[in-house]
Every structure is written in C-alpha cells, then in structure tokens.
C-alpha cells in the first residue's frame, strides 16, 4: 500500500521568539504561505577545452515568501511579524509536520521530525479589509541564509 501524500493541513506554521535557544509558538493567524525555498543561479563553467557549454548551480539564495495572515485581536504571531518588519531584524520561522501526540508545535513529536526552518527579513506588508470576507494582512519576506530541511 502506498503512503498518502501530505496535505498543507498536515503542517503547522510557527514563529520564533528571537531568543537563544529559539522557542517557537504556533502562528495560528497564518492562512496561507507560499514561496518557502531556495534557488541557485546558473553558473557557466565552460572552459576552452570543452566541446560544449557546461553549467553548475551557484550559491543558494533564499526565495521571497508570502504570508497571508488573518487579522485577529491579540494575535501574538501577527504582532511578532510586524515587530520584525518595524525593527528590520530577521525573524525565524518554521513549518512543522503535525505530530501524532498531543503537541503540534514540537518537531520531536512530529513523525520523522519533519520540518523546514529559516530566517527571514520582512520587506513589505499590505492590509486587505474586504466587505463581507475576512480581513487579512499580506507580508512579503526574503529568506536570509539557507533553509534547514529535516526529515526530507
């Protein structure tokens, strides 16, 4: 029997507190996340003795990430992202596969310890209060450094 593919709802998004060691809390205001990952520029490594062009991937660069967060009274996760934007300090974020036990916030409770973790500079935000629908704030950030992948 084949294993089932994971759904987005099998993961929980988290925000770090900036301390050392970093502690994470679930970011329950997050309604959508896109762009988490890296890309490498194409580097031409062709030399005079080559009979055709040769390439390799260059240094990894973190992608831009879009967070769509629901506006909620007293949302600490929303405040943390705004604080990062206002201060210019990077914020550490994580996407963890939900565990089978009582905790969904600890990678140790997650099957295979599966998670992604990254630091991000917040570079823009926009507020959308549509009539008759949920109000959201869309943040854009740029991953700084690499993305840690565990369990993949």
The predicted pLDDT at position 105 comes to 53
The predicted pLDDT at position 102 comes to 42
Per-residue pLDDT of the chain (152 residues; tens, 9 = 90+): 456 677 777 788 999 999 988 889 999 999 999 999 999 999 999 999 999 999 999 999 999 999 999 999 999 999 999 999 999 999 999 998 876 444 555 555 555 568 899 999 999 999 999 999 999 999 999 999 999 998 87
- Name the pTM for this structure: 0.84
The predicted pLDDT at position 93 comes to 95
How distant is the alpha carbon of residue 31 from its chain centre?
13
The predicted pLDDT at position 16 comes to 93
Tell me the domains of the chain and their CATH numbers: 8-150 (2.30.110)
The predicted pLDDT at position 110 comes to 55
The predicted pLDDT at position 106 comes to 57
Compute CA distances 5 → 8, 12, 67, 103, whole Å. 10, 16, 23, 21
């Amino acid at each position: 029997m084949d294993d089932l593919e994971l759904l987005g709802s099998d993961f929980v998004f988290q925000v770090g507190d900036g301390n050392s060691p970093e502690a994470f809390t679930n970011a329950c205001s997050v309604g959508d996340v896109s762009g988490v990952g890296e890309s490498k520029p194409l580097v031409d490594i062709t030399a005079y003795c080559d009979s055709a062009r040769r390439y390799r991937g260059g240094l990894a660069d973190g992608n831009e990430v879009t967070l769509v967060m629901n506006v909620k009274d007293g949302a600490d996760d929303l405040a943390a992202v705004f604080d990062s934007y206002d201060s210019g300090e990077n914020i550490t974020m994580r996407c963890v596969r939900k565990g089978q036990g009582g905790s969904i916030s600890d990678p140790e409770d997650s099957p295979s310890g599966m998670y992604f973790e990254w630091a991000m500079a917040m570079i823009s935000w926009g507020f959308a209060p549509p009539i008759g629908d949920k109000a959201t704030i869309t943040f854009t950030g740029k991953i700084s450094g690499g993305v840690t992948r565990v369990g993949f």
